[in-house]
Structure 1
C-alpha cells in the first residue's frame, strides 16, 4: 500500500503479530476495557489530499488501518494464509477459465451502520467511484483492470475485467474496494475531512487537531453482518508526534500496544526489558525501502549513472550501522518471504565495488564526479531516515565518482513534489496491498505507476506481467516474475535497499495478538482482547 504507502500506504513497519492493549479504565465489553493502540503515523488533510479517509484517495498504511476496521469489502484475507475469503459477499468466484468475469453474491441482511440496506448497487457505486475520481496518488490503479460492473439484482454483482487478472480477488480485500453508502457519498467528489461511514465491525469517531487526526475511537457496530466477532467493544488509536512521546506513553501505561516507528535504539531498550510489563515480538517483515529515480532528470537520465549507484551502495552497512540489524539487506523489489523472490541486484552487481562503478561510468562516457541530491522525507519513515541518507551520501562520495548532498522535506510536500518529478533521487517505502509478487511490480511499472515515474519497459508491461495474471496457480508465474526482477535490476528505475523486520510492543494481558495482522499486515482490531482467552 502504499501504498504511500504508503505509506508506504501496504505491511505495517513495526506492527506485527502482537497488537493492542488498554490503558483505559472503562469496562467496555467482553475484552475487559478499551484497548489503546499507539502509533507515530500521521494522517493529515492537505490541499492536494483533502480526504485522508476516503477510499478514493487514501493509499497509505495509516489511513488503511483505520478504514479496514470500519468498511466492509466483498472479500477479505483470513486469519492465516493469503487466499481471500468472502466478507460482505456470501460467495465469489471467476465464472470463466480466463479470469475475466468475477461474480459475487452478497450476504442477506447487510446494512450500513445507520441501518440503511446495503445492496449490489452500493458495491457498483463504490467500485465505479474510485475509478471515476481517479485521485492522483490514490488506489485507482488497483481497480484498473475493471471494464464494467453489473448488478443483475440486489444481491448479485458481476465484475467484467478488461484483461485476465488472477490477482483480482486479492485486490478486492483492500480498502480501495471498500463498500460505501451510495446515498451518503458523492459519486464524483472526495469526502473531505475525517468522517467515516461504513458497514464494518466497528464504527469510528475521530478527533482532530487542525488538519491532523489525533485519535480514532472504534466502537462495536451492532448493525454489522458478517463472520467477524470483535473481542473488544472499544478500541482506541492514538497518534503521537514522535517515537519518544510514544515510548513515554507506553512506559506510563497510557498505551497498551505500540507500533510504528521506533528507532533501533528504542527497540534495543525495549527488548532489554527496561519498560516493565511489556513484551516485544519480532518477526520477518515484507515492507521495503528503496531509492526511486526520476529517469528523465539530467543527473540520472543515463542508465550507467543508476547502475554505478547500484554498484556502490552497501546495504549491509546500512542495516548494521544505521538500523542496528532491525532490517535485512534487499536485492530485489520482491522481498524475501514472497513467492518468486530472487536476488537480482546482487546477481547483477555483486558486492559494492568502486572499480566496477568507475568502469560503468567510463564505458558510458559519463564525466565524474556526478552531482546528485538525495532527497528524503523527515517525518514519515522513522527517526533514522536522516542517518540513512547521510550514510548513502557518504558511500557515494567516498568513491570519488559522485558529489552528493542530502535534503530533508516534510511528507506533505515531499509526496507531491516527488510525483511532480521535482527530485532526481529520493527515498520511499512500500507496504504491500496484498501478498503477491504482482503487488511489488505492477505499482512501479507502466503508465499510471504509483511513483508517476517516466520509466517504461514494454517487455514487462505488455508481455511478462499480463502473462503472470493469467495464472490462477500463482507458483506457475514464478519464471515471469524472476525475469521481471532481472530486467528491473538491469535498468535500475528503483534501487531496493532493505527490508524491515516487524516489531510490536504489547502489554502482557493483551490477547489475540497472533491474529492482529493478516497476511498483508493489515491491522485487524477485532482480534484484540484483554485477559484470559475465552
Structure 2
C-alpha cells in the first residue's frame, strides 16, 4: 500500500495474540463509549487528488483503513491467515483449471448505507469504473488483469481475466475492489469530498479542517449484511500531528489504541514503562522501506551507479543507529516470512564495501565522486525519516564514492505526484502489502503502469516469471520463479531495499479484541475492538 505508503513501524504478517484485557467486549463496546483509535496518518484532498475516500483514487494505508470499514468487497481477509473468505459474496471460486475465470454469487438483501440495493450491476460498475478512470495514483494495477466483467441476474458476477492469476481472490479482498453505488458515483469522474456511500459494517462521518481530515467517526450501518460481527457500535479515529502528542493522549486515556506511528525512542520508552494501564506488544511484520530510481535520469541511468549504491548501503548500521532495532536489514524486495524470499542483494553485494563500489564505477568509466540528490518525504513516514536519510548520505559519501545532497519535501501529495512524474532521480519510499504474497512485492514495481511510475522494464520478469507464478495455486510451487525475479532485481537495481519493519500496537488495558485488530496484511480491523474491564 503506497500503498502502499507506510509509516514506521507498520507491517504486515500473521499475528500472534497481542493484548488481552480482563473481561470481554460486547456489541456496544462495553460501556457504550466509542473506541478511540489514534493515528498520525494524513488524509487530505488536493487539486490533483480531490477524492480521498473514492476507491478509484485512494491508495495509501491510512485511507484504506477507513475504506475497509465502510465499503464492502466480494472477499475479505479473515482474522488470521492469508486465505480470503466471502464478504459481500456468498461464495466465490475459479471455474476453470487455468485460473482465468472467477465467479461470485452475492448474498441476498445487500444494501448500501443510503438504502439502495446492491446488485451484481454495482459490482460490474465499480470494476469497470476503476479501469475506465485509470487513476495513475490509484490502485488500478490490482485490477488491470481483468478483461471483462459479466453479470447474470442480480446475484451472479463473472470475472474474465486476461491471464491466469491465482492471487486474484486476494486482490478482490482489497479496497481496490470496493463496491460503490452506481446511482451515486459518477461513471467517468471521481467522487469528490469527504463523504462516501458504502455497504460495509460502518457509516462514516468525517470532520475536516480545510482539505485535511481531523476526525473520522464510524457508526454501525443498519443496512449491513456480511460476514463481520462488529464488537462495538462506534469507533472514532483521531488524527495527530505527531506521535508524541498521540502517546500523551493514550497515557491520559483520551484514546484507547494506537499503532501508527511510533518512533524508536517511543517504542523503547513504552517497553520500559511501568504504566499498568498501557501495554505494548511487538510482532513480526512485512512493511518494507526502499530507495526508488528514475532509471531514465542521467545520473542513475547507468546501472553501475545503482549497483555502487547497493554496494555501499550498510543496512545493519541503519536499523541499529537510526531505528534502534525496530526493524531488520532487508536484502530483497520480498520480505522475510513470505514464500519465495531470498537474500538476493546480500548474495550479490555482501557487506558494505567502498573499494568495491569504486571499482564498479571505474569499470563503467564513471568518475567519482558521483553527485546525486536523494529526495524524501519529511513527515509521511514519521519523524525519523530525516535521520534515516542523513545516515544514508553518510554511508554513500564514505570513501569519496558519492557526493550526496538531500531534498526533504514537506507535502506528501507533492512528493508523491512529483516522484511519479520522474522529477527525482532517487527517492525514498515505503510499501505496505496489498496482499500477503510475494507477487505484491514484485509486480507493482515492474512493467507498464507500475506504482512508482518507473521507466524500468524487464521482459523476463514481466512476460515469463510473474505470469508463471500466477498459474500456481500452490504458492510454494511459485517460489522458484520468485527467486529468479529477485536475482534480476538485485543485478539491475531499479529499486534498492533497505529495511523491513516490525509491528507495534499500544492500547489501554480495558480494550478487548486487539489480538484480532490487524489482519495478515496489517490492515486495521476496527470491528474487532471492544471494551472490557481493566486489570
Give the structure-1-normalised TM-score: 0.96
1:130-167 deviation line (CA, Å, top 9, x unaligned): 11111111001100010010011100001111111111
Give the equivalent residue in structure 2 for 1:455: 456
- Given that 1:28 and 1:234 are in contact with CA atoms closer than 8 Å, whether structure 2 keeps it comes out as no
* Contact 2:39 2:240 survives alignment (8 Å): yes
Alignment of 1:415-494 (within 5 A): 415-494=416-495
**Counterpart in 2 of 1:24?**
none
Q: Deviations over 1:430-460 (max 9, x none)?
A: 0000011000001000010000001000000
1:248 to partner: Cα distance: 1.7
Secondary structure of 2:246's counterpart equals helix
Q: Is the 8 A contact 2:11 2:502 kept in 1?
A: no
Deviations 1:298-326 (A, max 9, x none): 11111111001101000000000000000
Q: Secondary structure at the match of 1:432?
A: coil
Q: Cα gap change, 1:85/1:102 in structure 2, threshold over 3 Å: closer, same or farther?
A: same
Please show how residues 185-334 of structure 1 align to structure 2 within 5 Å. 185-273=185-273, 275-334=275-334
- Corresponding residue for residue 379 of structure 1: 379
Q: How does 1:46-65 map to 2 (within 5 A)?
A: 46-65=46-65
Cα distance, 1:11 vs. partner?
3.8
The gaps in structure 1 that reach 5 residues or longer are 22-26
- In 2: Cα distance, 1:375 partner to 1:514 partner: 37
CA distance in 2, matches of 1:185, 1:206: 18
Change (3 A) 1:462 1:7: farther
How far the C-alpha of 1:4 sits from its partner, in A, is 3.7
Q: 1:67 to 1:20 in 2, by over 3 A?
A: farther
Within 2, Cα distance between the matches of 1:16 and 1:233? Answer: 26
CA 1:387–1:16 in structure 2 vs 1: closer, same or farther (change >3 Å)? farther
In structure 2, C-alpha distance between the alignment counterparts of 1:223 and 1:41, rounded to whole Å? 29
- 28 and 34 in structure 1: CA distance in 2 versus 1, 3 angstrom threshold: farther
- 2:355 paired residue number: 355
Q: How far apart in 1 are the matches of 2:5 and 2:100?
A: 28
Report the CA distance between 1:475 and its aligned residue: 1.0
Q: Which residues of 2 match residues 147-166 of structure 1 at below 5 A? A: 147-166=147-166
Structure 1 runs of 4+ aligned residues shifted over 6 Å read none
Matched residue, 1:390: 390
**Correspondence 1:504-519 to 2 at 5 A:** 504-519=505-520
Q: CA deviation at 1:16?
A: 9.4
CA RMSD of aligned residues (A): 1.8
Within 2, Cα distance between the matches of 1:507 and 1:6?
Answer: 24
Kindly report which structure 2 residues correspond to 1:3-14, keeping only aligned pairs within 5 A, or say none.
Answer: 3-5=3-5, 11=11
Where 2:3 maps in the other structure, the secondary structure is: strand
Structure 2 length-normalised TM: 0.96
Structure 1 residue aligned with 2:28: 29
Matches of 1:446 and 1:399, distance apart in 2: 35
Shift of 1:19: 8.2
Residue aligned with 1:331, SS: coil
Counterpart CA distance in 1 for 2:20 and 2:216 is 14
Residues 7, 57 of structure 1: alpha-carbon distance in 2 compared, 3 angstrom cutoff: farther
Distance in 2, Cα, partners of 1:478 & 1:289: 22
Distance 1:20 1:525, change over 3 A: farther
Q: d(CA) in 1 for partners of 2:19 and 2:526?
A: 8
Q: 1:30, 1:386 → 2: CA distance?
A: 39
2-structure distance, mates of 1:143, 1:70: 20
Asked if the contact 1:35/1:529 (under 8 Å) is kept, the reply is yes
Q: Which residue does the alignment assign to 2:123?
A: 123
Say whether the 8 Å CA contact 1:291–1:425 is kept in structure 2.
Answer: yes
Q: 2:93: which partner in 1? A: 93
State the secondary structure of the residue aligned to 2:270. Answer: helix
The separation in 2 between residues aligned to 1:290 and 1:258, in whole angstroms, is 25
Q: How far 1:208 sits from its partner (Å)? A: 0.3
SS in structure 2 at match of 1:104:
strand
CA distance in 1, matches of 2:160, 2:171: 14
